Structure 1
């Protein structure tokens, strides 16, 4: 046996414990392995990281479809968490899980090292961070040096606008767009974060992000996280548009939808994640928490963000322009996958 603090490790296999003799060389090797394990730098680093997490105070604002699961994972990982939502029900649920609750965004940000903002729209981000209608925002309560993490898929221009306002309070901002599986991944703690911001700011928020995700990609400077998400969403929505129309052609040719999708998957040339996941995409549309209209609205929002970004940066995107101007207006008539 070797003791190190509160840990006691047996270095003897069952045969030795039962009284059978060990070869002297084997005994030495086992002792050396045990001592090396107790000096393992990875183990010390893991313990130090755990202690650091226990000291971090996190504010979380927005307990919706994604935010509720993300916040629960922070509680489960040992962070001191204060949550805020305009609805009392999700706050009660998080309080039962071990979080504190706040009456305003400013209260949620008070004493926080990191504040996560997971609201839906650009106006909601402005109101949450800057304050509105007499309710103080995050910046009214955040201490100098706090890192505010914007999780919503919004324009990089807005991210920089919020960061400029935060800088006047000596508060830092990073964007950490969410990807990797929607609310299921948020609940499971297996999200992928696409992060934009300064190295030091991202490093300070990384333990929080890691507790809610499988992968954290630091893409580059402020705004590049949401830019990456907008590009990814454009590829997804554009592919949905193509598969949707391809299935219409197949229907006119009397080829069943399931059959043409099987053929495309087997031939692989025109296959994609969208075509192989079409049934799941349709199921998501039909069962989504915000209904078919909400799914279509997200499709149009994502494409509009992509077009605004392209125009702002001077990128030539005639296909994107055609989808936004000529295709998207008619999607709502039949739904996203019809």
Structure 2
């Protein structure tokens, strides 16, 4: 989700924002990736029949691999959803579930009480908010509006099951009300502090995730070359001190686990190009804060090389396939 006191703040991937909206004054505010905008101060919503959930119009912009299941979960919780996407075919499923499909972000902003945007990149965010048909073209954001930058973690599976983790940065006094809405899409909603702290947490998490995935891929590859059965090796790792999320939940070796990208030719999941981008952000912030991150830097180099070698659109766990290919196997 996107958020911030101005349009240039926090425009990074995987961000969510909650904003208060009013038609009383015509002053603009802006946000980024996943955003919720409101005409009045957020009040806690009860998710039962006849509650605020059934009255609050929620706009959703960006119905890709993550946005689509997230919007579906809002509908399941009784929220009327107003949706739009640059690719109209992405809206069909939601329309069948009862969502109202609109043509532009400005149309969504005109009718919605809260807006959620789930977009792939910062340029997309800027366009959705400040473009000719952007959210900020509508005279509905006031100086009293507020935004949360909400970083999400968990991937498509968690988005579908409503078990995402949201790391929230924004005004603490409005957090509990925003949490009501976010809880429809996630199992964990964590307040990190003011605007920007959510992104900081996500950058740190994804740097560790990349390092762990590369380490797991290298370990599994070495074990296979030493004659170990990959399923047996994974079982041993997961009973030992080497256990990690990449070994027990998202194993990168085809055939070891079901329901993960490695079992589907690395399709779906979290793209290599997105991991490379997040590692680039981590590298930049490490440089700016004079923080040594040697393993993070190496991970960034590896994922950049993978993008150049045709892995950009594959899940980031395809680093195992990349290592095997690199050694001629």
1:272 equivalent to 2:280? Answer: no
Corresponding residue number in structure 2 for 1:99: 99
Paired residues of 2:306 and 2:319 also in contact (CA < 8 A): yes
Greater CA radius of gyration, 1 or 2? Answer: 1
Paired residues of 1:234 and 1:303 also in contact (CA < 8 A): yes
Structure 2 CA distance for aligned equivalents of residues 99 and 47 of structure 1: 18
1:337 equivalent to 2:312? Answer: no
Corresponding residue number in structure 1 for 2:14: none
Shift of 1:314: 2.9
Number of residue pairs aligned between Structure 1 and Structure 2: 264
1 or 2, which has the higher helix percentage?
A: 1
Shift of 1:47: 8.0
Structure 2 CA distance for aligned equivalents of residues 85 and 93 of structure 1: 12
Corresponding residue number in structure 2 for 1:318: 294
Structure 2 CA distance for aligned equivalents of residues 207 and 50 of structure 1: 16
Q: Secondary structure at the match of 2:116?
A: strand
Q: Secondary structure at the match of 1:172?
A: coil
Pairing of 1:4-153 with structure 2 (within 5 A): 46=46, 51-131=51-131, 135-141=132-138, 143-145=140-142
Pairing of 1:177-256 with structure 2 (within 5 A): 177-180=151-154, 182-256=155-229
Shift of 1:79: 1.8
Q: Secondary structure at the match of 2:231?
A: helix
1:328 equivalent to 2:323? Answer: no
Paired residues of 2:149 and 2:199 also in contact (CA < 8 A): yes
Corresponding residue number in structure 2 for 1:17: none
Shift of 1:105: 0.5
1:290-334 Cα distance to aligned partner (Å, 9 max, x none): 569x83223322222221222233322122122223x33444558
Paired residues of 1:285 and 1:291 also in contact (CA < 8 A): no
Shift of 1:281: 8.8
Corresponding residue number in structure 2 for 1:40: none
Shift of 1:173: 2.1
Q: Secondary structure at the match of 1:323?
A: helix
Shift of 1:70: 1.2
Structure 1 CA distance for aligned equivalents of residues 73 and 244 of structure 2: 32
**Which residue of 248, 251, 259 corresponds with 2:232?**
259
Shift of 1:142: 5.9
1:32-66 Cα distance to aligned partner (Å, 9 max, x none): xxxxxxxxxxxxx9589962222322111001111
1:259-301 Cα distance to aligned partner (Å, 9 max, x none): 33232223x1222121223134994145378569x83223322
1:208-264 Cα distance to aligned partner (Å, 9 max, x none): 212222221111111112221221111111101111122233234333333332322
Structure 1 CA distance for aligned equivalents of residues 274 and 47 of structure 2: 42
Corresponding residue number in structure 1 for 2:3: none
Structure 2 unaligned spans of 5+: 1-44, 312-317, 322-329
Q: What TM-score results when the alignment is normalised by the length of structure 2?
A: 0.71
Structure 2 CA distance for aligned equivalents of residues 117 and 186 of structure 1: 14
Paired residues of 2:47 and 2:53 also in contact (CA < 8 A): no
Q: Secondary structure at the match of 1:69?
A: helix
Q: What TM-score results when the alignment is normalised by the length of structure 1?
A: 0.69
Distance change >3 Å, CA 85–CA 47, structure 1 → 2:
closer
